[in-house]
Amino acid sequence: MSTENEGNPVPPAPSAPPAPVASPAASPQGSAPGGNAPTAPLPPVPQSAPGAPEATAHQATAHEGPTHQGPYDAQAQPPANQPSGPAGPAGPASDGSWPPPPPATPSYADGGAGVPTGPGGPGGPGGWGASYQQPAPKPRSRRGGLFAAVLVAALVAGGLGGGIGYTLAKDNDNHGSTTVSASDGTASQVKRAPGTIANVAARALPSTVTIEAESSSGEGGTGTGFVFDTQGHIVTNNHVVADAVDGGKLTATFPDGKKYDAEIVGHAQGYDVAVIKLKNAPSDLKPLALGDSDKVAVGDETIAIGAPFGLSNTVTTGIISAKNRPVASSDGSASSKASYMSALQTDASINPGNSGGPLLDSSGAVIGINSAIQSTGSGGFGSGQSGSIGLGFAIPINQAKYVAQQLIKTGKPVYAKIGASVSLEDTTNGAKITDQGAAGSAAVEQGGPADKAGLKPGDVITKLDGTVIDSGPTLIGEIWTHKPGDKVQVTYKRSGQEHTVTLTLGARQGDN
């Protein structure tokens, strides 16, 4: 999921990985506390648009835009010293952060370094996930010419030797052959058992598509999607189709070469999920089976399908490296808001163009949507696109399924919220409710869920349903794994004393 956030910083990484939620059958969580923990830090807090106040609040129910305005549920106060320029993919952590230097900011799997992996990102002139450009050939050196000459000579000699060998073998055929050739029909008769990678790929590939999104100005890129139902709905990432939102063009191409025009049914920037629908959809569509991402265990095998660098129908494999990994990402544009997820981490090779594609388990069921990658490359405009280093992130399918169904039903996303603004500062202490909300609003929404539960400005939320909360972005990602109306246990500290209350999550519709 190429989600390298270029150009526009996004919320900082939590200083420590969240504690796993106890599950009788699940494997241990991939994130382990301590100085060597592999937690992928979240990107820094997005800065305000030019001329806007340096520190604003962010609500825990929507992803944050560069201006941090709007009725987001958990508002955050970014650090005063937060840089306003592009987020460096491997910049140093703020003072007091988790010991190891944080890796590069996760980027969308469609774009260049630190950018979305699908269309709509700044991965070079072609946008997120623009087709890979073959570098211009270097002038041939004298050494190269000499090597070529020697190679040709060797091939000629080899051909001559081969000819002599064939003649000798033919003249002495009565001595028998030392090789055995397979019959012509053997290759087609090979049986690949269910559960093998080849079998899973053969069944899943016909239900995946390569998506091309183009804006009205002609800019765009490539991403991936998969068949969600027989009515022609395709699920993908929001950043894959972002270029085509306002009067752009969308096409979806199947592995057999059949190409269809498509239209956007709905998109959720905060969740980074979108649904498109094929025009004149065929009647023989086969939706991919959806798995249960809650039952996924660390170490489970994974299979990713996508179009890395425009190479459609590419299959890669790996394992689940960690669960509940807090990730915040942004496409880096001036109007961008951050996306938050409590992600599945995988080491399956995911590159720009994989965004929106399915992450499958060993049975072929979809357990996630590939959305972001961590990268050490600088990438960005003019410096090429970075690729996989074995740190990929996928939106859990249980969450994506709920979002997709809402988009198909109403065309708009619905976010769970607590009705309180929290700080997005890089801290290990928890998510602190700020003194003031966005645009001067109250930090705790009057009559909202947090207000009814007795939460006040200055309270520091440390757990949500037993999951450790070490920062505002982590809280937002965890809240969004729930649905409006869910009851959650919130643990918080006030004046050094710990308290636990039951809170019923509220709802907010739309991205604005």
Q: What is the C-alpha separation between 239 and 355, in angstroms, rounded? A: 8
The helix/strand/coil state of 253 is: strand
> C-alpha 156: how far from its chain's center?
51
Among 423, 337, 441, smallest CA distance to 66 is for: 337
**369 touches 379 (CB < 8 A):** no
**46 touches 31 (CB < 8 A):** no
**72 touches 61 (CB < 8 A):** yes
Among 90, 95, 131, smallest CA distance to 113 is for: 90
What tokens appear for 66 in the block? 């560069």
Among 136, 137, 120, 134, smallest CA distance to 352 is for: 120
Please give the positions annotated as active site. 239, 272, 355
Degrees to nearest 5, angle at CA 105 with 372 and 431 = 95
What tokens appear for 185 in the block? 């029909």
Q: What is the C-alpha separation between 54 and 27, in angstroms, rounded? A: 42
Torsion of CA 186, 188, 194, 200, to 10 degrees: 140
Look at the chain and count its residues: 512
Q: What is the C-alpha separation between 508 and 413, in angstroms, rounded? A: 8
Sequence-ordered strand ranges (E) for 115-237: 208-214, 220-227, 233-236
For every residue of 53-74, which 3-state class applies, written as one string?
Answer: CCCCCEECCCCCCCCCCCCCCC
Phi, psi of 330 (to 5 degrees): -150, 150
> C-alpha 145: how far from its chain's center?
45
Torsion of CA 493, 32, 298, 470, to 10 degrees: 30
Q: What is the C-alpha separation between 482 and 475, in angstroms, rounded? A: 11
Q: Strand 392-396 relative to strand 233-236: parallel, antiparallel, unpaired?
A: unpaired
Q: What is the C-alpha separation between 453 and 81, in angstroms, rounded? A: 33
**Which 8-state DSSP code applies to residue 399?**
H
Sign of CA dihedral 359, 361, 363, 367: negative
Q: What is the residue type of 410?
A: T
What tokens appear for 217 in the block? 């100005």
